[in-house]
Structure 1
Amino acid sequence: MTLAVTTLANGLRVVTLATPGAETAALGLYADTGSRFEDASINGIAHLFEHMVFKGTATRSARTIAEAIEDVGGQLNAYTARDMTAFHARVLGDDVPLAFELIADLIRAPRFDADDLVREKDVVLSELGEARDTPDDIVFDHLQEAAFPDQPLGRSILGSEESLAAIGPEHLRGWLDAQFRGPSCVFAAAGKVDHDALVRMAEGLLGDLPDGAHPDSARASFAGGTRHDRRKFEQAHLTFGYEAAAHRAPDYYPLTLFATAAGGGMSSRLFQELREERGLAYSVYATLTSYDDTGLFSVYLATANNNAAAASALALQVLGRCAEGLDAAELARAKAQLKAGLLMSLEGAAGWAEYLARQMLIHGAPVPPADVIAKVDAVTVEAARDAAQRMLAGPMARAHVGSIKLQAA
């Protein structure tokens, strides 16, 4: 495999991994922008923008875009996160130029037709309604709001009825001009690709992205607190969380391993004690979500309404005991899970393209997987315990969905 990186004059970075013998390729444009860069008045614009570029460009209708990629058996999709937006494709190697041209067309020549915008807002409003009716989805939005209240990082990616109504074509054009700039974007490709050819395509198709950084997002400030959604559902859905490590923080790997040991699988302490031994929850896990300036460690529980208080109390106890008494065997198991998960994700071109793009956006360089594994292996039991104890000593954010009563934490 051959790894190569080139930075264009406008700051756009092109990173590729050519794989001998591959017949397919994965490629995409990844930008370090998302909902945390939005003003409150137009919350949801990053996600709506992602939808709207597929509605047509200066030369292609929405149908033409769909037919163009599917005529060659390819796939073209996108996603929006709080700190990233991606437009990505999977195609046969010979169709890489077409896929690149389609992705570039979405970003460089979107039409933003006013009638299309009205219809697409209805689609997003349906998506918003579905999320609100799905308790194991909406509870995480509530937790995010509790953790980072009155901040972009605490707001929903989907926005609200009021903020979506305020967005017009001019806002979408302004978002494109402000956020999608050369230095904020990475074009990543893996599989049957030719680096020099992709660089030439990038110069021709994306070389006109403006130079200069996009506006910074507001720095996050973890507050903690509680959000209650007392609608009645068959089960109770609960989350609680703590401020955790940012992407490049020293505690990132210790806390990632702690999250895995505490609640990352069926062998984890939370799963074993709450589900297997006590039967208090049918779903329980812990995760670490990191951003550029902060992170959020969270525990999720789905349980019967009458078990909610006991399950929540026990989960907090288990977490505390794990922070105090994490042992070598648990840490070794967590390391094995993380390393295997990383290497399994890199078995295909799509996994490699995503990995390379994220490494470029977070670290500014394509960090080799062996370096990641070395950092995982270097974490000691003491480091994981210390990082977890410091984290749990901080304020807690909490959210639940269901007509339940919980004891004070």
Structure 2
Amino acid sequence: MSARVHRLANGLTVAVEPMAGVETVAVGLYADAGSRSEEKGLAGLAHMVEHMVFKGAGSRNARQIAEVIEDRGGSINAWTTRDNTAFQARMLADDMVLGLEVISDLIRAPHFDADELEREKGVVLAELGEARDTPDDIIYDHLQATAFPDQMLGEPVLGHEETIAAIDTAALKGWLDGQYRPEGLVLAAAGKVNEDALLTLAEARFGDLAPGAAPQPAAATFGGGTHHDVRRFDQLHVALGFPGVGLHDASLHALSLFSSAVGGGMSSRLFQEVREERGLAYSIYAWAHAYAETGLFGVYCAAGRRDAARALALTREVLARTAETLDQAELDRARAQAKAGLLMGLESVATRADHLARQIQIHGRIVPPSESVALLDAVTVAQARAAGAAALSGGEALATVGGKLAKAA
């Protein structure tokens, strides 16, 4: 069965993909707005809105929202990233109407009670504290801030103590009104779903939204530099970052495959040379993440403090060498991993709904898996090497967490 796309008169996109052989459905509302669209003094606002809508919406309080979904054996979840926010319900097929009703209430009729907001600030501050006490978590915020200094793309999704304190109910309402505009919303459903029923529900729940689009966030540029968090932990955590590419860049897939080959699994060069052959680190891997206009290629490494400087030096050496000597077997292995990850993931109704929405947000259409596979298949060794070399030549961001050795790194 093929996926289909519809648009309501106000610009909201509806994507639906019936899947054979399943008895469940995933339905979600996806907003093309995340933390990078916030004002600097209100960092954390998008994430706070995501939390606060669950404190009461429509005719239900927080407990009733949870119970009405779980009474039917379903689950509902939400997440905020730097460039989007999602609300998704996973239900038995007969309960799709209920899942969509709750999601609609979350976005269209949140209570935003002032007392609840003050309580929830405490929850988010606890979440922030937990992240800061987890070195292999907080290091990514340090790296992001170093890679994109003085830009909203470099701000943490959770915000800061002072910006969380500044959020009030007017800010919550203003965020929904300004950012959740129909031209930037995608309602996606996958699984055992009736297309006509979904369209009828979409029109009933969202058809009266006034047309419009959210303002575009400011473009970001890679800065680079260093950040050392010298609190003492058992290990030294190191993250290297280099300029990546945007979602529409011709070298997007080449850089992704370079990243996988150099640090994407146990057979990758970084894992084999830094961990297996030298024993300098327990955990080491690479990744590439793309935003609309830019991206970040990075490496994370956790090493003993006495080994960290050597691990960092070897990591830089392996990266540079791979950009020169990546071979066909390594590229083919990375390509196989990427294809398998894509296709295996799409066997889940939840992942399939996410995929539908994200493809529309990025490309304005649903890109079939076969097209994505063809783009991966087209990448050559020369292209992957060139993508890696371009990233490594564009400057470096270095973030460390873990004590005095961080200064030496």
Q: TM-score range by the shorter chain?
A: over 0.9
The residue that corresponds to 2:94 in the other structure is 94
Structure 2 contact 280–311 (Cα < 8 Å) conserved: yes
How far, CA to CA, are the matches of 2:210 and 2:261 in structure 1? 44
1:368 shift after superposition? 0.2
User: What CA deviation, in whole Å up to 9, does each residue of 1:18-48 have, x standing for no partner?
Assistant: 1133210011001111100011111000000
1:402 shift after superposition? 1.3
The residue that corresponds to 1:172 in the other structure is 172
The amino acid that maps onto 2:92 is L
1:200 shift after superposition? 1.0
Establish whether residue 330 from structure 1 lines up as the match of residue 364 from structure 2: no
User: What CA deviation, in whole Å up to 9, does each residue of 1:270-317 have, x standing for no partner?
Assistant: 000000000000000000011001000000000001111000000000
How far, CA to CA, are the matches of 1:209 and 1:279 in structure 2? 58
How far, CA to CA, are the matches of 1:297 and 1:20 in structure 2? 37
The residue that corresponds to 2:288 in the other structure is 288
Which secondary structure state, in structure 1, belongs to the residue aligned with residue 272 of structure 2? helix
How far, CA to CA, are the matches of 1:20 and 1:283 in structure 2? 40
Please list, as runs of the form range in 1=range in 2, the aligned pairs for 1:58-69 lying within 5 A after superposition.
58-69=58-69
User: What CA deviation, in whole Å up to 9, does each residue of 1:249-287 have, x standing for no partner?
Assistant: 111000000000000000000000000000000000000
Structure 2 contact 58–106 (Cα < 8 Å) conserved: no
Show structure 1 runs of 4+ deviating over 3 A. Answer: 404-409
How far, CA to CA, are the matches of 1:90 and 1:333 in structure 2? 33
Deviating more after overlay: 206-215 vs 223-232:
206-215
TM-score by length of 1: 0.98
Which secondary structure state, in structure 1, belongs to the residue aligned with residue 242 of structure 2? strand
Structure 1 contact 53–107 (Cα < 8 Å) conserved: yes
Establish whether residue 205 from structure 1 lines up as the match of residue 208 from structure 2: no
How far, CA to CA, are the matches of 2:267 and 2:82 in structure 1? 31
How far, CA to CA, are the matches of 1:347 and 1:114 in structure 2? 42
How far, CA to CA, are the matches of 1:119 and 1:207 in structure 2? 33
Deviating more after overlay: 372-381 vs 51-60:
51-60
Please list, as runs of the form range in 1=range in 2, the aligned pairs for 1:101-180 lying within 5 A after superposition.
101-180=101-180
The amino acid that maps onto 2:360 is M
The amino acid that maps onto 2:62 is A
Identity rate, percent? 57
Structure 1 contact 309–407 (Cα < 8 Å) conserved: no
How far, CA to CA, are the matches of 2:232 and 2:387 in structure 1? 37
User: What CA deviation, in whole Å up to 9, does each residue of 1:79-120 have, x standing for no partner?
Assistant: 000001000011000000010111001000000000000000
How far, CA to CA, are the matches of 2:206 and 2:59 in structure 1? 16
User: What CA deviation, in whole Å up to 9, does each residue of 1:336-381 have, x standing for no partner?
Assistant: 0000001110112111111111101111101000000000000000
The residue that corresponds to 1:248 in the other structure is 248
Structure 1 contact 229–400 (Cα < 8 Å) conserved: yes
Establish whether residue 402 from structure 1 lines up as the match of residue 402 from structure 2: yes
Which secondary structure state, in structure 2, belongs to the residue aligned with residue 265 of structure 1? coil
How far, CA to CA, are the matches of 1:19 and 1:85 in structure 2? 25
Establish whether residue 307 from structure 1 lines up as the match of residue 313 from structure 2: no
How far, CA to CA, are the matches of 2:375 and 2:20 in structure 1? 28
Where in structure 1 are there 5+ consecutive unaligned residues? Answer: none
Which secondary structure state, in structure 2, belongs to the residue aligned with residue 303 of structure 1? strand
User: What CA deviation, in whole Å up to 9, does each residue of 1:164-222 have, x standing for no partner?
Assistant: 11100000000000000101110111001011211111111011233211111111011
Structure 1 contact 50–80 (Cα < 8 Å) conserved: yes
1:406 shift after superposition? 6.0
How far, CA to CA, are the matches of 2:230 and 2:292 in structure 1? 33
Deviating more after overlay: 176-185 vs 207-216:
207-216
User: What CA deviation, in whole Å up to 9, does each residue of 1:110-135 have, x standing for no partner?
Assistant: 00000000000000000000000000
Establish whether residue 354 from structure 1 lines up as the match of residue 331 from structure 2: no
How far, CA to CA, are the matches of 2:187 and 2:3 in structure 1? 13
Which secondary structure state, in structure 2, belongs to the residue aligned with residue 210 of structure 1? coil
Where in structure 2 are there 5+ consecutive unaligned residues? Answer: none
Structure 2 contact 36–217 (Cα < 8 Å) conserved: yes
Which secondary structure state, in structure 1, belongs to the residue aligned with residue 105 of structure 2? helix
Deviating more after overlay: 398-407 vs 171-180:
398-407
How far, CA to CA, are the matches of 2:407 and 2:389 in structure 1? 22
| Distance change >3 Å, CA 42–CA 348, structure 1 → 2 | same
How far, CA to CA, are the matches of 1:208 and 1:163 in structure 2? 33
1:407 shift after superposition? 8.6
